[in-house]
Chains A and B, each alone.
Chain A
Amino acid sequence: MYQFTYHRVDSARKAANLAEKNEDAKFLAGGMTLLPTMKQRLASPSALIDLNPASEKLAGIEVKGRNVHIGAMTRHYDVANSKDVQEAIPALAELAGMIGDPAVRHRGTIGGSVANNDPAADYPSACLALNATIHTNKRKISADEFFTGLFETALEPGELITKIVFPVPSKAAYMKFPNPASRYAMVGVFVAKKGKDVRVAVTGAGSSGVFRAGKFEAALTAKFHVKALEGVSASAEGLNSDIHADAAYRAHLIGVMARRAVNKANGK
């Protein structure tokens, strides 16, 4: 790890002010991605702005009307075990419970995961399929606009995620084919239906990160049943190939995970 200056902040405002003054500073949330990256010297921020002392203000889960608000510093463990999330969006609680291992879930945060936009991370698929809104200290960004590429988001330098707001769907499910070694998604498919609107988001597969599967959405909008997916398959073009799986295999997995997710969403 390269040397950095360490700052402790107890509010979002202080964090944003410091970030404005330190160009190469980074926010430290759970550190489950940032610290390993710094150890490998793939990141060398001049300063770390530690959001953990601001957890009380930046963490928490609230159901307001037909939306679930989740603070950026909310740990995966707390989302997985929240009665409110389990009731309103069980698929989201289940997704959180599938991230990494118990120790990672105790520390990692939803804000950190979404800001990081790892192409194999789980939360980005939930944000996209549930049509979530990412709130920052400056503005609100829809998930469709937020995830812009591999590890890239619409966040400007120094912009802080404060919370993520998920509309409650009528039906939803997440199916993940985990890489057995890393437990990240080799392919994960999040399917959500709200009114007539059906959204299908795929993580782990795309070479520019999470994406919506248009063909699957169209078929499922006509009829939200696994039978509607007969003959529908994903193209291998633009998918990742690596030692774990080639693009054709990932394309196949998208079809399998999507079907399982639809069945699960329908209670089958």
Chain B
Amino acid sequence: MPKVSMTVNGKEVSGNIDSRTLLVQFLRDTLRLTGTHVGCDTSQCGCCVVHVDGKALKSCTVLALTLEGANVTTIEGLATDGKLHPMQEAFRENHALQCGFCTPGMIMTSVDIVNRKGNKLDEQTIRHELEGNLCRCTGYHNIVKAVAAGAEAMAK
């Protein structure tokens, strides 16, 4: 089986994998990082979003082999020294989750939005930028509030 090596949450990892292995399968099944979820497996829902070389990607729609040498950050890589990332904290504070299934992808996408659009985000921008992430519980209102608050907190 072909071998792949990459950096995940700051650690060098590698594995011999079937060429069909998707990034999300490599993360969940090989590395046991089960924070990244699979909601649809058809590239629609965004539950599986992780950062690859600093950009949000749907990990269910990328082959692991294609990411040889890449730098991947998953939801597990956001907190530092046992302290939640400001965006995670904002989701908790604003009650932006119910079942929590969409949350890892929502948070990874939200951090990506801040990286691209800065710390002052209006509602319209947030809703537009979250188009690739679906939530079947919250009705989105609190997610939008959380992203705005998390974005501001990230500036501090």
Which A-chain residue is minimally distant from B53 (CB atoms)?
A106
Interface residues of A in 10-55 (CB under 8 A from B): 28, 31-32, 35-36, 39, 48, 50, 52-53
Contacts of B20 in A (CB 8 A): 1, 3-4
A35 near B63: Cβ-Cβ < 8 Å: yes
Any A CB within 8 A of the CB of B2: yes
Contacts of A104 in B (CB 8 A): 43, 58, 132
Any B CB within 8 A of the CB of A101: yes
15 pairs, CB–CB < 8 Å, chain A vs chain B: A3-B20, A8-B68, A28-B63, A35-B62, A35-B63, A101-B46, A101-B131, A102-B56, A102-B116, A103-B46, A103-B56, A103-B109, A104-B132, A182-B44, A183-B131
A101 near B61: Cβ-Cβ < 8 Å: no
- Inter-chain CA distance A35–B63, complex, in Å, is 8
B interface residues (Cβ-Cβ under 8 A, vs A): 2, 18-20, 22, 41-44, 46, 49, 55-58, 61-63, 65-66, 68, 109, 112-113, 116, 129, 131-133
Which B-chain residue is minimally distant from A38 (CB atoms)?
B20
Within the complex, the shortest CB–CB distance from A6 to chain B, in Å, comes to: 4
Which A-chain residue is minimally distant from B70 (CB atoms)?
A52
Contacts of B68 in A (CB 8 A): 8, 53
B132 near A31: Cβ-Cβ < 8 Å: no
Contacts of B55 in A (CB 8 A): 77, 106
B66 near A28: Cβ-Cβ < 8 Å: yes
- Inter-chain CA distance A101–B55, complex, in Å, is 13
| Apart from A5-B19, A52-B66, A103-B49, 6 more pairs, CB < 8 Å | A6-B65, A8-B65, A28-B66, A101-B133, A102-B131, A103-B58
Contacts of B112 in A (CB 8 A): 102
Any B CB within 8 A of the CB of A57: no
- Inter-chain CA distance A39–B66, complex, in Å, is 16
Which B-chain residue is minimally distant from A180 (CB atoms)?
B131
- Inter-chain CA distance A48–B129, complex, in Å, is 32
- Inter-chain CA distance A35–B64, complex, in Å, is 12
Within the complex, the shortest CB–CB distance from A26 to chain B, in Å, comes to: 13
Any B CB within 8 A of the CB of A60: no
- Inter-chain CA distance A102–B112, complex, in Å, is 9
Ranked nearest first, the 4 interchain pairs of A and B with the lowest CB-CB distance are A101-B132, A6-B19, A106-B55, A101-B131
B19 near A106: Cβ-Cβ < 8 Å: no
Contacts of A102 in B (CB 8 A): 56, 109, 112-113, 116, 129, 131-132
- Inter-chain CA distance A48–B46, complex, in Å, is 25
B61 near A32: Cβ-Cβ < 8 Å: yes
Contacts of A182 in B (CB 8 A): 44
B131 near A6: Cβ-Cβ < 8 Å: no
Contacts of A36 in B (CB 8 A): 42-43, 61
Contacts of B2 in A (CB 8 A): 6
Within the complex, the shortest CB–CB distance from B140 to chain A, in Å, comes to: 14
Q: Which of A4, A32, A77, A103 has the most CB of B within 10 A?
A: A103
Contacts of A90 in B (CB 8 A): none
Contacts of A35 in B (CB 8 A): 22, 43, 61-63
Which B-chain residue is minimally distant from A77 (CB atoms)?
B55
Task: Given the known inter-chain contacts A4-B19, A8-B68, please indicate yes or no for A107 contacting B61, CB distance below 8 A.
Answer: yes
Which A-chain residue is minimally distant from B61 (CB atoms)?
A35
Which A-chain residue is minimally distant from B108 (CB atoms)?
A103
Any B CB within 8 A of the CB of A149: no
Within the complex, the shortest CB–CB distance from B113 to chain A, in Å, comes to: 7
Contacts of A50 in B (CB 8 A): 63, 65-66
Which A-chain residue is minimally distant from B43 (CB atoms)?
A36
- Inter-chain CA distance A6–B68, complex, in Å, is 13
- Inter-chain CA distance A107–B132, complex, in Å, is 13
From A4, A6, A32, A48, contact of B43 by CB (8 A): A32
